[in-house]
Each structure stands twice: as C-alpha cells, then as structure tokens.
Amino acid sequence: MFVDLDKVGNSNTGERLDLLEKFDEVFGFDRIKSLLADREFIGKEWFVVLCQSRTPFFIRMKENIRVPYGDKPLSVKHLFSHLRQGKSRLIEKEMYGRFSLQERTAKRTAS
C-alpha cells in the first residue's frame, strides 16, 4: 500500500500516520509482522502510535536522536557509544508511558 504525496521530499508524521490508519482499516495492525524504516521516520507521535498498535519496528537512528530513558531522554550515542563495530546491546525499558515495553537494540556499523 502506498500514497502519492504529490510533493517533493519526505513524508511528515501526519502523512505517515494517515497511511498507517488506512492500512489498519483495510488489513488490520495485526497483519504487520514488523515495520522497517529509515532515519527520517522518527518523532514521538509516530513512536506512540507504533507502540499503541503493538507494531514491532526497526528504525535506523542518527546518534543525536534523544529517546526516552527513565526520567530524562538520552541520546542514542550516549546509550550505545561503548559498542565496538559489529557488537549490539539490548535495552528493555518502558517507552512513552504505559503504552509498551520496548526493547532497543543497536548494532554499531562502520561510519
């Protein structure tokens, strides 16, 4: 399923959420095994909807992106900077309140 946005550039959160809602109406969230997205697919509202719908997601993130971690957000770089290339770390933390327990895994790749 896709939507022609009739514009230049990336989609915004609202456009992505509209597409996700249409998918849910036609197929249902339970049909999504996982969502794979590149680093422009970020934002609190986007993540909240993915968590609420219990959609597993894998999104590449820039190291300066801040993610919920306890009482204060931390940068992805701070959480995973100690990793050597090819190594990974799994963090299980509640993300966006009561919505979901998220496992965050990062794997350091070559720059």
Per-residue pLDDT tens over the stretch 47-83: 888 888 888 888 888 888 888 777 888 888 888 888 8
Cα–Cα distance for residue pair 47/26, rounded to 1 Å? 21
Structure tokens at 13: 């959160």
Q: How many residues make up the chain in this entry? A: 111
Cα–Cα distance for residue pair 106/62, rounded to 1 Å? 11
Cα–Cα distance for residue pair 42/85, rounded to 1 Å? 24
Q: pTM of the prediction? A: 0.72
Stretch (H or E) spanning 66: strand 66-67
Cα–Cα distance for residue pair 40/53, rounded to 1 Å? 20
Encode pLDDT of 75-98 as tens digits: 888 888 888 887 887 777 766 654
